Chain A
Amino acid sequence: MRRPGLALLAVLALGCEPRELTWSYRLDPALRGVAESLELGFVRDGCTGERDLTITVPTLGGAPSAELPTLAPGVWGFEVTAHTRASGRTPIGRGCEAVELPTSEPFVVVVAPLGATPDAGVGPGDAAP
């Protein structure tokens, strides 16, 4: 009687354990050698929803400035915004991938130059997230 109880507790504990998600980003060739830092945005309800958290990556390919979040189940937009030091807060490239969590499938966010997106003609800082 005691063993099934322990087994049930173990199942419950495993059921609550967060899964780890591996992902990556790929810069458009036009941004390679140009982009110097990134912002990682986590957008609730997909790429057009409410941005829940923003974390900077000060150096391209380097470590984020803060621990990345643990996200609740549902659809989340993984947004990557590219900057240069000269551009300051104005992004030069952006990409977003909507992913339904939980998933263990790795995915890639493709970061395109803002001038090449459907927002062409609009100032980069004014493009819809």
Chain B
Amino acid sequence: MRTRVATSAAWLTLVLSLPAAAQDAAGALEAARAEMAGARFAEAAARLDAAAAAPDGLDRPALVTLLRLRALARHALRDADAARADLVALLSLEPGATLGAEAPPSLTRALEEARASSGPGLRVDAEASRSAGGFTVSSRASGDPAGLVRRLRVLALREDTVEPHEGARVEIAGEGTLRYVVEAIGPGGAVLATAGTPSAPRELRAEPARVAAPRAASEEGGDDTALIVGIGAGAAAVIAGVAIALAILLAVPDTRVLPPGCEGCP
């Protein structure tokens, strides 16, 4: 428990150490909103472009707001392709997104058309394995038709620190149990999707000590070695075939998990 408390404190330190750009981003969104209210769509779009291009300052909800606003601005500027790109990006973050009453019907139609051809939302998958001197974490983002993901960040949660690494495949020195979180980082430094969370990180646990399997005793072949080997190979092939058929027949099926229902939700 002490480790979790210490790591949470380290996490908090990491989050608080982010620059004050978050406030700048919030200000940029408000300013863009005001510009759009004054029909200054080009200025609003440029301001939103700058916020998206910044290395940090946005979180996921702010990016969703930015994409909504920019789609509206680009639509008003009659840049249909760019507006559609924002809608596709928006749906990859929020498959159930809507534009609200402020959107013109033609843009709402474009959103529904994009939704009809959109796949599952953006997600990140990761797998850790042991390697010489530590661990290898391989990560992959999927469901990103708009190319929102700029980079993949792996956070190794040490006892007292959070150790950041970057890349789709990272090497992390250490031994014992690896606790880690993988983040897909997008425009403005927004965390788009994670594998694991700070409170429930993914873990590659220390392997229990294994007893080495006894080595097969060497056998000496006689004069009829070839015959015995041939018969043995044939028998092995038949047994393998029967075993495969039985395995398929007796296989326990996988389970496809459906979205959960909510009892008592409004």
Q: Do A and B bind each other?
A: yes
A residues contacting B by CB (< 8 A) are: 11-12, 15-27, 32, 39-42, 50-56, 58-73, 78-81, 85, 89-91, 101-103, 108-109, 122-129
Other contacts beyond A51-B196, A68-B259: 16, CB < 8 A? A16-B251, A16-B253, A20-B258, A25-B261, A26-B262, A53-B125, A61-B265, A63-B259, A64-B259, A66-B121, A102-B252, A102-B255, A124-B199, A125-B199, A126-B8, A129-B199
Tell me how far the C-beta of A65 lies from the nearest C-beta in chain B, rounded to whole angstroms: 4
B263: interface (CB < 8 Å): yes
Q: Considering the complex, which residues of chain B in the window 1-21 have a beta carbon less than 8 Å from any beta carbon of chain A?
A: 1, 4-5, 8, 11
Q: A21-B255, A59-B96, A126-B1 in contact; A51/B264 too (CB < 8 A)?
A: no
CA distance A22 to B125 in the complex (A): 24
Tell me how far the C-beta of A14 lies from the nearest C-beta in chain B, rounded to whole angstroms: 9
- CB atoms of A68 and B198 under 8 A apart: no
Q: A19-B253, A61-B265 in contact; A126/B94 too (CB < 8 A)?
A: no
Interface centre among A41, A65, A103, A128 (most CB of B within 10 A): A65
- CB atoms of A127 and B193 under 8 A apart: no
Q: A12-B248, A50-B205 in contact; A126/B254 too (CB < 8 A)?
A: no
CA distance A54 to B121 in the complex (A): 13
CA distance A20 to B254 in the complex (A): 9
Q: A123-B5, A126-B8 in contact; A23/B257 too (CB < 8 A)?
A: yes
A-B contacts, 8 listed (Cβ < 8 Å): A12-B249, A16-B251, A63-B95, A65-B93, A65-B123, A66-B120, A66-B193, A125-B199
B residues contacting A by CB (< 8 A) are: 1, 4-5, 8, 11, 61, 93-96, 120-123, 125, 143, 193-205, 248-249, 251-266
When distances are taken between beta carbons in the complex, the residues of chain B under 8 Å from A11 are 249
Interface centre among B195, B255, B259, B266 (most CB of A within 10 A): B255
Tell me how far the C-beta of A12 lies from the nearest C-beta in chain B, rounded to whole angstroms: 5
CA distance A108 to B264 in the complex (A): 12
CA distance A21 to B195 in the complex (A): 23
Q: A25-B262, A61-B265, A66-B123 in contact; A85/B61 too (CB < 8 A)?
A: yes
When distances are taken between beta carbons in the complex, the residues of chain A under 8 Å from B258 are 20-23, 68
CA distance A60 to B11 in the complex (A): 26
Tell me how far the C-beta of A54 lies from the nearest C-beta in chain B, rounded to whole angstroms: 6
Tell me how far the C-beta of B17 lies from the nearest C-beta in chain A, rounded to whole angstroms: 15
CA distance A39 to B258 in the complex (A): 15
- CB atoms of A68 and B193 under 8 A apart: no
Question: What 8 A-B pairs are tightest by C-beta distance, nearest first?
Answer: A24-B261, A61-B265, A67-B120, A66-B123, A129-B200, A26-B263, A73-B252, A68-B257
